[in-house]
Structure formats: structure tokens, C-alpha cells
Structure 1
Amino acid sequence: MNPGMLTYPEIGGQADALAAAWEQLKRQKEWVSRYIGNPSFDEVVFIGSGSSYYQALVMASTFRLWLGRSASAHPSSEIFLFRDQAVAKGRNILLVGVSRSGESTEVLLALDSVKELANWTACGITCYDDSGLARRAECLVSPLGKEKSTVMTKSFSSMTYMMQAAIAMAAGSRYIGEMEAVLSLDRTVVERADAFAEQIAAHNEFHKTVYLGMGAYFGLAQEVCLKLKEMAYVWTESYGTLEFRHGPKSIVEPGTLVCLLVSENARAYELKVAEEMKAYGAFVLLVTAQKGEDTAFADAVFEVGGETLSDEARAVLYLPVLQYLGFRFALRKGVDPDHPRNLTQVVKI
């Protein structure tokens, strides 16, 4: 088998996966009104493990902003082992399990741990309608999110997009329009991303890599950091953009890749951080809605478009180029990204 023969088409297939998720969501509008759009819940708690937890962070951030209601994100294990520390007692809680396979032990244990509690209601999102998660709770299902490779790529993008679209349906027409705009942009972004990432990987060698992001992009920064670790066995870290200046920046030197997921909300502040890292000798890669005079200092800039959209709506557009970057670095090292060592597609306890 050729290295990457599973992962490569899955990264490339995410535009179709997003479109399928959008059409499926239209058939599950009652799910939206019953759960995400239901104002009777005091708090919505998104949970997942690994990449699914990073999705949960993006989902919770989007929910809080677009609906103006309380939401949080936790690793699944926090709910079944430290529930009272994670979520205040006595509130009416909606628990949203996030799992590609729907079989992650920690997610299932978390749902089982609250099923007898009167003030907890459970639902979920997955790629498999016959999974343990789907049998325990009513789920949104991303029909083309299923993957053969171990590493999450199009499943992450499609599930994140699908939940954001559900939040948009609950929030109103403005955000529905933004999610439709993302669909129109995604295919071109995916097509351009591969060649861009290939050039970065072919002409550069880094011994340290750091991903930075804020707001909804903090969860994305953690996710793409994980992608590079999983696929290429590269030690990398992720931080909140401005937090990186408070100590961690001491690791920056020539040979360091600093990749910043630029928001429009905090663009000026974030680019100041990137310029500082450039001065310390880092290779600076910016993923942004649009280039400008303020990005001219960077070593590489990838534009996703959609500059008039909210940062949250644009989130999934930032993923393809950084998924491809992990993939290309893996191939350069002679590592097969389809079969990362020590990993399985479903983590069970």
C-alpha cells in the first residue's frame, strides 16, 4: 500500500462531506429545535475526546456568541469522573456528545453517567447512525464524515461545520447565510491548500512547530497541532496567541515554525505577536481570511477568503491547508500517515 493512500483523499473529500452534512441537517431540523435551539437548558455542555474535544471547544465558542447562551466544552472523562467540578449542580443541562465513531468509551461512559439524572438531557453528533452514541442519544449524523484512516480530517471538518450550521439555524438568517457562503468557498480552498502545503514541506525543515489561535481558533490550533504529531511524529505545541508571549515564546529560535490562525476580531493584536516571533528568527506562516500590507512580513500566507464572514463561520476553512501540511511533512519523513504508531481509530478503555 502507498503511504497516505487513505488519508489523502479524505482530506481532499471534505468539501463533499460539508455539503452532505448541510443537506442532512435540513432533514434533521427537529433535532435543532429539540436540543440546540431549545432555550429551556441553562447550559449546553459539549464533550469529546482528543480531536472531538477540540471540536467541542469550537462548537461551544460558536454557541455562546451566536445564541448568547451559556455553553462549555470538556473532555468526556471530566463528566463521568469529575462532573460536579466541571458543571455546577442544580442546573438544567444539555449534554452533547461528540464522537466520529460514536464508540469512544469515554463519551459513552459520560452519557451513561448522567442518564438517571433528572436535570440532564443527552444528544450527540457522529458519523455513524448505528453507533453506541446514536443508540444512547438522538444524534446529528455527518453522512460523508466516515473515514478509513486513523487520523480525523474530513470527519472533523464536517462534524464541526454541521454543528455550527445547527447553531446557525437556531440563531437566524444571518448565520445561515454565512454557513451557505462557507460551502461555496470550501472546495476552492481545499484545491489550493495541497500545493501550498507541499511547497512549505518541500523547501523547509523545522525542529520546532507552534500553532497559535484565539477564540474559536484556539480549538483549531490544538487540532492542527495534533494532526502534525499524529501523522509525522513531530513534537509541536499550541497556545492562545497572546498567551504565547507569557513565557513559552522563549523556545522560539531559527528553525521554529510559528503558524498563526489569524482572526479578524483580534487581527491587529495577533499580527503583532507574529511579527515578534519573526524577529526572534521563526518562520511565520499565517492562515487568514485575506492578505494585506499588515501580513507582508510573514514568510508564507494562505488566504481562505470570506473576510466578511464571522470568524466562527470561517473556522473549517482554516483546516485543509494545515491538515495537508501534517500529511506532507509525514511523507517527507518517510512516515505513513494512514497508520500512526500507537494509535487506533477508536479509543476504548
Structure 2
Amino acid sequence: MILTRGILTLPEIGDQAEALAGAWEQLKQQSSWVQDYLANNEYDEVVFIGSGSSYYQSQVMATTFRLWLGRSASALPSSDIFLFRDQSVARDRKILLVGVSRSGESSEVILALDSVKDLANWTTCGITCYESSRLGVMTPCLVSPLGKEQSTVMTKSFSSMTFMMQAAIAQAAGGSILEEMEQVLDLHGDVVKRANSFAESLAEANDFNKYIYLGMGAYYGLSQEVCLKLKEMSYVWTESYGTLEFRHGPKSVVEPGTLVCLLVSENARSYELKVAEEMKAYGAFVLLVTTAGGADTEFADAVFELGGGFLSDEARAVLYLPLLQYLGFYTAMKRGVDPDHPRNLTQVVTI
């Protein structure tokens, strides 16, 4: 019998280093977009919007924008703009609205951008993988050319679009930050290769009944995304929290059989590892995804080392994704679920 489950998703995760490289090259052709929008200081606030995974991307993008450019930015679900705009964004400010959508066809993103098209103080732009999509046609977009996917679940599209927007922000900021993004390209291929076997072994050796993902700063949006990946692909119930926030009530769910995965930053490493140690004491299996292990991580059950400790946390963000995308994939395969075509889901969500 020929195995047909996962034949789309597995190579798409594996191809993401090439997708990042394609986004990098494409950005060189779209430098005018960067100058017209991200480098343009006339906006009081930049609002990144998306739905599902694209909303989680938006959180990473907004965090990076605020830090690297020192200007106001926020991330919102697309529906907040066309249904609750005045509750979500202060009136009478000059706004740049950035639509984020893999397909460029998500109804909620299109409705959000369309709802502000006649407002004098709003300007729109976007990022997608499909230049001929409705999003790509209705407003100027960055395009990740190799982010296109056949599978339902976002993997390389998420990584390449997040990387591309961060690189665009770095370009607008100037200085050494853009060099950091180029160094991410050099590290990414190796991370993808090592992550595959590590995740497969982890999934095969363990039967977890609860999955918790924790992250802070730019990694909070990532923790939500990898939580969603596992849930979409394998149908297991999982949750994500801000790392220190998890201690304020939610930690009551931790018991033996719980996987607690921390996306460890360098900025808050000592605080985050204290949380991890506490969860280990409650019986959790602790997985740390970090730049490097050391004496402070020896308590953990598993440590995946990314490298790149010389990079800023934000620049390093996409390096955290391959392992946890693969973990979703191999968990699904172990459970007999097809990660290519999750039940109830479609590539494009319309309303």
C-alpha cells in the first residue's frame, strides 16, 4: 500500500529555506514598496491584520516594527477592522493598514481593506504569496514567490512571509539589522534539516495528552502559531500562553503527560527557564527551543539548539518554526491523521 498521507505537507516544511531565499531576492525588487510604506514616517500607526495564522504573523510583524523602527504599530484580527474599527483603532489618526494573507483571498482581509478605502486618513498595502489574488490586485503587496502551498496548513508560507516582512522592516531601519536577516538565511537550511529527525524521534518516543506552547515578545505570536499547527494537523487539544502569564492560573492543568514547550528568548532567558523548571517539577515533559543549551537547561527533557545567539531575538524568530511544524506533522502521522487535508478546513476561508 502506498502511503498518501502527508505527501504535501512534509516537503513544504522541508522547502522553507528555499522559500525564505526567494522572499529575500524578491524584496530586492520591491525596495520602492518599503520606502513608500514602512519607511514612510507620515503614518501615526501601522496596523497589521490577518486571520488565523496570518493574524499570528501580524503579531510578530508588529512587534518587530515597534522595536526596529521605534514607531507605533499593532496587530489585529481582520474582522476587528470592518466590524469594530473605532473600538480597535483611535479615530482621526493617519493609519497604514497592512493586510496579511497567504492566498490573498481571505474574505475578512478583503472586507477590512475595502471598508477603509474611502477614508482619507487610511492607506492600505499588504503581503501575500499570490500576486494575482484579490489582495494583490486591490492594493500594493509584497509577494513571497516560493511561499505558495498545496496543503491546507500554512508552513513555508508562514515562515517566508514573516521573514520577508521582517527583512522589509530591517531595510527601512537600515544599519546592521538587515545583515542579521541575511545571517538567518545562512542558518535556516541547517535548522530545517536537523529539526526533521529531532521532531520525528520526539513524536515517536512519547504519548502526550496535553500540549502547551509558551513564548514572549515576538515569540508570543509564534507560540500561538505552532499551537495552531499541532491542532490543525493532528486534532489534539493544545494551548499557548505568554510564558510568565502561564503561571497565573493556567499552570493548574500541568501534570505528567503534559508537553510544555518553551520558545526561549535571550532577552528573558533566565525568567523563562525558571518557569520551565517549575513546570518540570509539576511533572511536565519540558522541551526547550533555544539558541544553545547549557548548565541552565540541563533540567529539561529535550533541548533543540538553533544557534544564532549573536542575533537579536526578533531576527531569529523564523528559526523556531521548522521543529514545531515538523512536530505537528509527525504527531498527525502517528495518530493516523492526514496533515495535508485536515477535517473542516480549507486553504481559503470565506464568509
| TM-score, L = length of structure 2 | 0.99
1:174 to 167, 173, 176: 176
Match of 1:48 in 2: 50
Root mean square deviation of aligned Cα: 0.5
The number of residues matched between the two structures is 349
Instruction: Tell me if 1:138 matches 2:140.
Output: yes
Deviation readout 1:110-163 (Å, 9 max, x if unpaired): 000000000000000000000000111000000000000000000000000000
Deviation readout 1:235-270 (Å, 9 max, x if unpaired): 000000000000000000000000000000000000
Match of 2:94 in 1: 92
The amino acid of 1:26's aligned partner reads K
Match of 2:337 in 1: 335
Match of 1:267 in 2: 269
Instruction: Tell me if 1:237 matches 2:243.
Output: no
Match of 1:149 in 2: 151
Give, in whole Å, the separation in 1 of the partners of 2:23 and 2:260. Answer: 32
Aligned positions of 1:252-291 closer than 5 A: 252-291=254-293
Give, in whole Å, the separation in 1 of the partners of 2:200 and 2:35. Answer: 43
* 2:314 alignment partner, SS class: helix
Instruction: Tell me if 1:221 matches 2:223.
Output: yes
Give, in whole Å, the separation in 2 of the partners of 1:155 and 1:173. Answer: 27
The amino acid of 1:73's aligned partner reads A
Give, in whole Å, the separation in 1 of the partners of 2:350 and 2:94. Answer: 29
The amino acid of 2:120's aligned partner reads A
The amino acid of 1:250's aligned partner reads S
* 1:210 alignment partner, SS class: strand
Aligned positions of 1:27-106 closer than 5 A: 27-106=29-108
* 1:47 alignment partner, SS class: strand
Deviation at 1:20, TM superposition (A): 0.3
Deviation at 1:320, TM superposition (A): 0.1
The amino acid of 2:113's aligned partner reads L
Give, in whole Å, the separation in 1 of the partners of 2:116 and 2:266. Answer: 39
Deviation at 1:290, TM superposition (A): 1.0
Match of 1:293 in 2: 295
Aligned positions of 1:10-21 closer than 5 A: 10-21=12-23
The amino acid of 2:270's aligned partner reads A
Give, in whole Å, the separation in 2 of the partners of 1:298 and 1:124. Answer: 40
Give, in whole Å, the separation in 2 of the partners of 1:131 and 1:119. Answer: 25
Give, in whole Å, the separation in 2 of the partners of 1:117 and 1:304. Answer: 45
Match of 2:253 in 1: 251
Deviation readout 1:68-121 (Å, 9 max, x if unpaired): 000000000000000001100010000000000000000000000000000000
Q: Percent identity?
A: 76
* 1:88 alignment partner, SS class: coil
Instruction: Tell me if 1:119 matches 2:121.
Output: yes
Give, in whole Å, the separation in 2 of the partners of 1:340 and 1:173. Answer: 43
Give, in whole Å, the separation in 2 of the partners of 1:278 and 1:25. Answer: 43
Deviation at 1:212, TM superposition (A): 0.1
2:109 to 100, 107, 115: 107
Instruction: Tell me if 1:308 matches 2:310.
Output: yes
Give, in whole Å, the separation in 2 of the partners of 1:54 and 1:340. Answer: 20
Deviation at 1:174, TM superposition (A): 1.0
* 2:43 alignment partner, SS class: coil
Deviation at 1:331, TM superposition (A): 0.2
Deviation at 1:173, TM superposition (A): 2.2
The amino acid of 2:299's aligned partner reads F
Give, in whole Å, the separation in 2 of the partners of 1:117 and 1:306. Answer: 43
* 2:337 alignment partner, SS class: coil
Select between 97-106 and 288-297 the one with higher mean Cα deviation.
Answer: 288-297
The amino acid of 1:305's aligned partner reads G
The amino acid of 1:170's aligned partner reads A
Give, in whole Å, the separation in 2 of the partners of 1:171 and 1:234. Answer: 41
Unaligned runs of 5+ in 1: none
Runs of 4+ in 1 over 3 A off after TM superposition: none
